Amino acid sequence: MKMTGRTAFGAALFFVVAGLAYALTGTFEGGFPLLMVAAVGVALLGSHIVAAVRRAEREIAAGEHDEEPIEPHVGPTIWPLGYALSAVGLVLGFLVDRGIYVAGGLLFLAATAGWFADVRHQWRHAQEEPPDPGPPLGPDTTPMADEGVT
Amino acid sequence: MSEHALALERRAVHETSNAVLGMLLFVISEAMFFMGFLAVYFTAYANAKVWPPSGISIPPMGLPTAAVVVLLGSVATMTMANRAGRLHDQRRVTVWTGATLILAAGFAGLLGLSYRGLGFHASTDIYGSLFWVLAVVAIAHAIGGIVFFALLLAQARAGELQLRHDPLQAASIYWNFVAVIGVSLYVIFYLANAGSK
């Protein structure tokens, strides 16, 4: 995770340098802002990951035991594909024939209802069978040979 | 890798919410998508002698202004819902999420009404093409937000958001992004062209 965060910041720096180079040498005015948006986006991702690592470091330093996340297993569902197809229907309806709107709209409603039903089913299932927390993932209380070595 | 580093790695993975990480990736890709279209818009603007092109009338600003005000109000209610979620105040999460859902629906409705009878189409010229593509995508994002908030409201009413707060965080990231896009499009298509014709 630490390495992923650093890689993200490295990529952000790369995009900044590339953006500056493009601004000085390129001819397309949109190149610089596009590269800057990419830099900000990747830096945002890096900061999110680094924040998670720092939270983990603080918790380990405080001796808190890790808990299994409550997030239930999300099973595969076909309905996001339904959403994507309904978006195609709505765009084609806009561009080609307004009649296709109806098909896109119906598919949108069906995908919404189906996805809601899937999520509710998963939550109900997760509440009926809570996940086995397993052994604690925090550092062992027994002294280790390589303790303190990072 | 030492035991300590391994424990840190595993805990850091648990500290990273899949919902928030996925939403961040989605928002970053969407930002690139919008920036691509805006880059085309500004390139066309920079190369045009008259902007908007002749034959295009500037749309009236009343409804879009009201839509932006409602959008900013929904950002405020979303922030309150997120805050209530952090404090595990389930009742307020439900109230603020419901308010955000109503305001998001109002935003989408006002936006839709503002696009009626504009007098130019996607096939009119490059201004029309870019205006309509971005307008339709903005409305699609608003509808996506409505679905998202409805799902959150259902989870809040069922008490599921007491167990986890990250869906609210993800929704907050998404809606703040929609607000940035909504305000940007308002400035570019309405405010910037207000004195043109």
Is residue A52 situated within a structural domain? yes
Q: Do B15 and A95 touch (CB under 8 A)?
A: no
Is residue B11 situated within a structural domain? no
- Closest partner residue to B39 (CB to CB) among A2, A30, A123 is A30
Please give the ipTM for the structure prediction: 0.70
Q: Do residues A15 and A55 both lie within one domain?
A: yes
Measured between beta carbons, the chain A residues lying within 8 angstroms of B38 are 30, 33
SS3 per-residue string spanning chain B: CCHHHHHHHHHHHHHCCHHHHHHHHHHHHHHHHHHHHHHHHHHHHHHCCCCCCCCCCCCCCHHHHHHHHHHHHHHHHHHHHHHHHHCCCHHHHHHHHHHHHHHHHHHHHHHHHHCCCCCCCCCCCHHHHHHHHHHHHHHHHHHHHHHHHHHHHHHHHCCHHHCCCHHHHHHHHHHHHHHHHHHHHHHHHHHCCCCCC
What pLDDT score does A15 carry? 92
User: Of the segments A50-59, A80-89, A121-130, B88-97, which one has the largest average pLDDT value?
Assistant: B88-97
State which residues form the domain around A95: 79-128
Q: Identify from B1, B4, B40 which residue to disrupt to test chain A contact, counting A C-beta atoms within 10 A and taking the largest count.
A: B4
Q: Do residues A18 and A52 both lie within one domain?
A: yes
pLDDT in tens, B103-141: 999 999 999 898 887 878 777 888 888 998 899 889 889
A 23-42 residues with CB < 8 A to B = 28-31, 33-34, 37-38, 41-42
pLDDT at A128 > cutoff 80: no
What pLDDT score does B99 carry? 95
Which residue is listed with tokens 């330093």? A61
The neighbour count for residue B155, using CB atoms within 10 Å, is 22
More confident residue, B35 or A138: B35
Domain boundary among A34, A61, A88: A61
State which residues form the domain around B166: 18-191
Q: Do residues A88 and A120 both lie within one domain?
A: yes
Q: How confident is the model at residue A150 (pLDDT cuts 50, 70, 90)?
A: very low
Percent of chain B at pLDDT exceeding 70? 98
pLDDT at A47 > cutoff 60: yes
What pLDDT score does A17 carry? 94
Q: Do residues A57 and A86 both lie within one domain?
A: no
Looking up residue B53, the CATH number of its domain turns out to be 1.20.120.80
What pLDDT score does A73 carry? 61
pLDDT in tens, A12-25: 999 999 999 988 88
Q: How confident is the model at residue A129 (pLDDT cuts 50, 70, 90)?
A: low
Is residue B8 situated within a structural domain? no
Query: How many domains are contained in chain B?
Result: 1
Is residue A139 situated within a structural domain? no
Model's pTM, two decimal places? 0.78
Is residue A143 situated within a structural domain? no
Query: How many domains are contained in chain A?
Result: 2
Is residue B197 situated within a structural domain? no
Is residue B13 situated within a structural domain? no
Is residue A136 situated within a structural domain? no
Q: Which residues of chain B have pLDDT under 50?
A: none
What pLDDT score does B178 carry? 95
Q: Do residues A55 and A98 both lie within one domain?
A: no
Q: Do residues A94 and A57 both lie within one domain?
A: no
Q: Do residues A52 and A101 both lie within one domain?
A: no
Measured between beta carbons, the chain A residues lying within 8 angstroms of B35 are 30, 33-34, 37
What pLDDT score does B7 carry? 76
